[in-house]
Amino acid sequence: MINAKYAPEQKVLTDQTDKAAEEKKYHSMRTKNAIVNTFSYIFLAVLGILWIIPIFGVFYISIRNESGQPITLVPADGFTMNHYLYLLTTDEYPFKVWFFNTMIVALCVMLISTVFVLAVAYTMSRLRFKTRKGLMNINLILGMFPGFMSMIAVYNILKAVGIDGSLASLILVYSASSGMGFYIAKGFFDTVSKSLDEAARIDGANNFKVFYKIIVPLSKPIVVYTMLTSFMGPWVDYIFSSVILRVNTQNYTVALGLYNMVSTREGMNQNFTAFFAGSVMISIPIMILFLATQKYYVSGVTGGSVKG
């Protein structure tokens, strides 16, 4: 039996031991977290450098004072911005026309596709009907096949209708299947409380009013995300534009026009650095859009991945 006289001293020793053990555990966890964070930062820094190198390489080649493929790391004649001026002023390659065509197609597709995607996402998220799950499963299966598998059939249909080679045909092709990409928007709509819909319907609102007066205003991140992804597709696409436009050069987009600049050996020797200058210029609108809407873009992706 423990003597009551020594009980307080033993309690103090026990408390001190427990405190020392807690401090040791705290310092151990702190050291472990510091090591993990250090390696994480190093890993992210390496990834960031690897991500920046190609971007810097494209810009570096675009300002080399030479026309063909570079042979040395440092150009013998220094650097220049004339390649950018050449693309903006030359009549040989109508870069401004290509840029304008691409902008028209991308903006039209962005507006049409955004409406399609949000409408389908709202339908799948809020409405309940017999074929709902079946349609979602079919869409999931079809989404596993790349779109360019159908480009020959699509071109033949457009040719039969008589609109092949036009910007309208490009807009139609890019927008036609956009509603299939509704999954992320649907996931975001699922996070919006359905009690808002019920309250609106009690006040006499139909599905359309609930959609554009309640759901859309509360879903700004996913709207911005959908608009950005819809804009980027036509802006950088080469496959469908090359098949549909073919020799209709006045309707060329930037991707198709820049490729034709270097598609031959002669073009490669004369326009290699100008090609990279064009690549830099067409990346500027996308960069501005992402920087301006980065907050909404990230919120849209993370919010849409919560529920499916």
Domain ranges of the chain: 1-62, 82-304
Q: What is the pLDDT of residue 302?
A: 52
Q: For the whole model, what pTM was predicted?
A: 0.79
CB 170 within 8 A of CB 240: yes
Amino acid at position 177, single letter: S
Q: pLDDT grade, residue 297 (50/70/90)?
A: low
| Chain segment 63-108, per-residue pLDDT in tens | 988 888 888 788 888 888 988 998 888 888 889 999 999 999 999 9
CB 212 within 8 A of CB 91: no
Provide the mean pLDDT of the chain.
82
Residues 240-270: b if buried by 16+ CB within 10 A, e if exposed: bbbbbbeeeeebbbbbbbbbbbbeeeebeee
User: Which H helix or E strand runs over 188?
Assistant: helix 183-190
Please state, in angstroms and rounded to a whole number, the distance separating the CA atoms of residues 205 and 194.
14
Please state, in angstroms and rounded to a whole number, the distance separating the CA atoms of residues 215 and 77.
59
Cα distance from N-terminal residue to C-terminal residue, the chain: 64
Please report, rounded to a whole number, the percentage of residues in the chain having pLDDT higher than 90.
14
Q: CATH for 82-304?
A: 1.10.3720.10
